[in-house]
Structure 1
Amino acid sequence: MSETLTATTPALATPARTDAPMLQVRGVKTFYGNIMALRGVDVDVYKGEIVTLIGSNGAGKSTLMMTIFGQPRPREGSILFEGRDITQVPTHEIAHLKIAQSPEGRRIFPRMSVFENLQMGAAVDGFAHFDADLEKVFVLFPRLKERINQRGGTLSGGEQQMLAIGRALMSRPRLLMLDEPSLGLAPLVVRQIFDAIRELNRTEGLTVFLVEQNAFHALKLAHRGYVLVNGAITLSGEGRELLERPEVRAAYLEGGAH
């Protein structure tokens, strides 16, 4: 059973909620064959929040992200988005509900140019606001504008991550799901990525569900966080308070057990 924390700093406290969560995960159990990867996971993400899920490698973070997006399906439990049960909805239909995913490992189209990759993202929205959205992405990530005609596969790791996020944003999502956006990137690039996420949330109210191994950056950024250990939520609470928890510091911030 997870332990829910109460914020001690008023500036960080989340007000009492009267609305339903935008994303509601309840009792989700996901299996790979006979191996249970998620053990009854409960997660809430409210409109306008940045919520992070941290945990060590192999804890089940990416499995939860993929389960929300329909691959694989949970064997038990439910997933609701804006009140609609999407537990069994096909992945392509989930994308049309305005949930965008930037998956682990970036997975851009390496043979396509930066421009063509961004076009692929805009296709979900029917290219209705293509020029305006393209300009927003270029303001957020100026490096992509400099590389507009370059093939995705020839970009640096950081540039590919910017492109993956930019492609997701081109669909005008109501919920942006990011899986390990800092993975394998230099500290300066990581800071740029997290600054961009913060800016999107601050200026546009974009709701973000962030899966991360980099607990320090993720919990500093997030309004709320969850800790996943061996497929189960063990802690939840305000992001900055979780940063101060001794067990979180020992496991994820001070070179302790991973």
Structure 2
Amino acid sequence: MTTGSEDLLLSVRGVETYYGKIVALRGVDLDVRRGEIVTLIGANGAGKSTLMMTICGDPRARAGTITYDGRDITGMPTHEIMRLGIAQSPEGRRIFPRMTVLENLKMGAQLVAPEHFEGDLKRIYDLFPRLKERAAQRGGTLSGGEQQMLAIARALMSRPKLLLLDEPSLGLAPLIVKQIFEVIRELNRTEGLTVFLVEQNAFHALKLAHRGYVMVNGNITMSGTGAELLKREEVRAAYLEGGRH
């Protein structure tokens, strides 16, 4: 994997984000290169989801810059950022509960040329056979695991260059978590999909990722390859004890 600046897809530099007067992110620096899976781990409330939302423009960074594919997106509105080839599967599986699985997938494909739809749908059904079985079922009646699959699948229907995944394993059974992480690995391996993953499940996330960052109280405190961070005593003590689900 090359590491030149031309391969830098997402660059976060000195980003500060506030909720009112409360500082949520404190000068965050982070890079995601093309073709990488990069994970951000940390305890609940560390600021991980805030960083992902800041990348998407809501909330806005109050200081620092966010560059995507060579373009400064720091001040851009969310809908314009999404049009640049970024797709997000947010925390909490925010699908459209009254729509069917197929209708949810169609919503994800709105920015893509219609002639790609059937081929993309087949690809999604190959990745997530359960969604094909549930195609006519309302999203809100699916199990938690199926809703997470749908949230990721809907994001993939937009043909993103960068997939942002926020806590994909949250509240799911270990077997479902394993399936979802295997799909992410397969998409990266076969299609070169670039993934930025925010996760509390540090063991699975670091096993999957090429590189990782650790966030504590809105600060990046450590970075390295996934394998390096798995071996770090501080990481093991804080995030991995009893965490191998």
- Return the TM-score normalized by structure 1: 0.92
1:167 aligns with 2:169: no
| Counterpart for residue 35 of structure 1 | 22
**1:118/1:167 contact within 8 Å kept:** yes
| Alignment: residue pair count | 243
Please tell me the residue identity of whatever aligns with 2:9: M
| Counterpart for residue 201 of structure 1 | 188
Distance 2:172 2:98 in 1: 22
| Counterpart for residue 77 of structure 1 | 64
| Counterpart for residue 9 of structure 1 | none
**1:223/1:238 contact within 8 Å kept:** yes
Please tell me the residue identity of whatever aligns with 2:97: P
Please tell me the residue identity of whatever aligns with 1:69: C
How big is the shift at 1:107? 0.2
Query: Moved runs in structure 1, 4+ residues, more than 4 A?
Result: none
How big is the shift at 1:16? 4.5
- Return the TM-score normalized by structure 2: 0.97
- Matched residue SS, 2:95: coil
How big is the shift at 1:127? 2.9
Unaligned runs of at least 5 residues, structure 1 = 1-13
Measured against aligned partners, the alpha-carbon deviations of 1:68-127 in whole angstroms (never above 9, x if no partner) come to 000000100000000000001111111110100000001000000000000000002143
1:40-189 equivalences under 5 Å are 40-189=27-176
**1:198/1:221 contact within 8 Å kept:** yes
Percent identity (aligned): 74
Measured against aligned partners, the alpha-carbon deviations of 1:26-84 in whole angstroms (never above 9, x if no partner) come to 00000000000000000100000000000000000000000000000010000000000
Distance 1:115 1:19 in 2: 37
Distance 1:162 1:20 in 2: 29
Distance 2:213 2:123 in 1: 30
